[in-house]
Amino acid sequence: MSKLVLYGLDISPPVRACLLTLRALDLPFEYKIIDLLSGDHRTEEFLQKNPQHTVPLLDDDGTLIWDSHAICCYLVDKYAQSDDLYPKDLVKRAKLEQRLYFDASVLFMPLRNISVPYFYKKVSTVPQEKIDNITDAYVHLENFLDESPYLTGDTVTIADFCCGATASSLPAVLSIDPEKYPKITAWLARLGELPYYKEANANGAEQYIEILKDVFTIVE
């Protein structure tokens, strides 16, 4: 088996999605911490590997892949003994990939658009419109869980890893009300029962929330 190296840091939801996938597949890998606030992602060495200077970055014996969704798909396609985490059936895969695109464009972006200005420029005022975007994402996510325990059916997939890593971090900005969103609450609790969840995701999510808790002021 080729040597896998994942570059990232624990507070990053996309990095944690990859950590969940690696743990679920029980793959040996090296984890190299990239401190974004210290500029590790802007070094010449890192830019040669990923000119987009983002994490996560996967190095699979010289094959370089960035974007968490692409990494998770690649890992399952190449190394999984079954297709449970990323079905080969085109209809099932299309539904799963819709959830991945939802994570990238609807669920994660509101969090990124609030947290990045704070991390790099200490911007702590947040327009209500950005909070409303998170509320909209919660409503959609709740609806996706209306008919099944996981995002695409009765078994966990990489869609749950990607969306779960983001959703478990969003309370840093807007809490998930269990009365309004009982299905999201139950789904996250279900993911929390996975034997590798705490190490791969929960610890980093808790750190992320602790950093951003009570930081933001919402303005109309």
Q: Are 69 and 160 in contact (CB under 8 A)?
A: no
Residue 176 — φ and ψ, nearest 5°?
Answer: -95, 105
Q: What distance in Å separates the CA atoms of residue 64 and residue 71, rounded to the nearest whole number? A: 9
Q: 100 in helix, strand or coil?
A: helix
pLDDT value of position 2: 72
pLDDT, tens digit (0-9, with 9 covering 90-100), for 102-131: 999 999 999 999 999 999 999 999 999 999
Q: Is the peptide bond before 56 cis (omega within 30 degrees of 0)?
A: yes
DSSP 106: I
pLDDT, tens digit (0-9, with 9 covering 90-100), for 49-64: 999 999 999 999 999 9
62-82: burial string, b at 16+ Cβ within 10 Å, e else = eeebbbbbebbbbbbeebbee
Asked, colleague to colleague, whether 4-79 and 90-218 share their fold, the answer is: no
Q: Which pLDDT band, with edges at 50, 70 and 90, does 74 fall under? A: very high
Per-domain residue ranges of the chain? 4-79, 90-218
Catalytic sites, residue numbers: 12
CATH (residue range 90-218)? 1.20.1050.10
Q: Which residues pair with 31 in a beta bridge?
A: 6
Is it true that domain 4-79 has CATH number 3.40.30.10?
yes
> pTM score > 0.95 for this model?
yes
